[in-house]
Homo-oligomer: A and B are copies of this chain.
C-alpha cells in the first residue's frame, strides 16, 4: 500500500489534534499547513476513508443528527507516521508560480510589455501574504501554531521575502543587485 504525502498530512493532523472529523481538519488545515500545502477540502473526506480502510485510522460514526465521522489514530497509523517522519526525504520542494511562468513567456507573446504590471501585482500579493504570516506568528497561542510548529512559519516568511525582493528589484530594474547582495551574504 502506497501512501501519498497528503495521506501523511492527514495522519499528522489527527496526531496533533486527536480525534477529528473531516470538517475539523478542514478548518485546522486551512489556517495552518494549508498555507504551504494546498489541496481541495474534498480530500479530507476521501483520504481518511482510505486510511481507515488500511487500518491507519479508526472511524467513529455519530448516530444522531448530521451524518458525521470522527477519525482517530490507530497504533498502526502512528507507526506509519513516525516511519515517514524518520525516513529520508527524496523529494525536492516544488513550486508552481503562475507569475513566474508569465515572466518566462512574456517576451514570446506580448507586443506591449506586461512585466511592470505583473511585478506590481506580485509585490502587493507577497506583502499581503507576509502580513498573514506575521499575524499567525503573533497569535502563536492557538492549537494549530503551538511553539514547535512556529518554526515553519519562518521558512514561509523567508520564501515570501525572497520573492518580494525579486519582484521589487524587477520593478526597479535592479536585478543585478540581487546577485551581488547574495554574494556578499555568502562571504560573511
Which A residues lie at the B interface, using CB under 8 A?
Answer: 5, 8-9, 11-12, 15-16, 32-33, 36-38, 78, 81-82, 84-86, 88-89, 91-112, 114, 117-118, 121-122, 125, 129, 148-149, 151-152, 154-155, 157-159, 161-163, 165-166, 170, 175, 178-179, 182, 185
Contact = CB atoms under 8 A, between A and B. Distances in A.
Contacts of A91: 98-99
The number of times this chain is found in the oligomer is 2
Contacts of A125: 92
Given A12-B108, A151-B175, 9 more contacts: A9-B105, A36-B95, A36-B97, A38-B94, A85-B109, A94-B96, A103-B152, A107-B148, A161-B185
A166 B84 CA distance: 22
Contacts of A93: 95-100, 163
Classify the secondary structure of A's interface with B: helix
Nearest to A39: B96
Contacts of A99: 89, 91, 93
A56 to B, nearest CB: 12
A89 B158 contact: no
A36 to B, nearest CB: 5
- With most chain B CB atoms within 10 A of its CB, the pick from A89, A121, A170, A179 is A89
A26 to B, nearest CB: 17
A78 B110 CA distance: 9
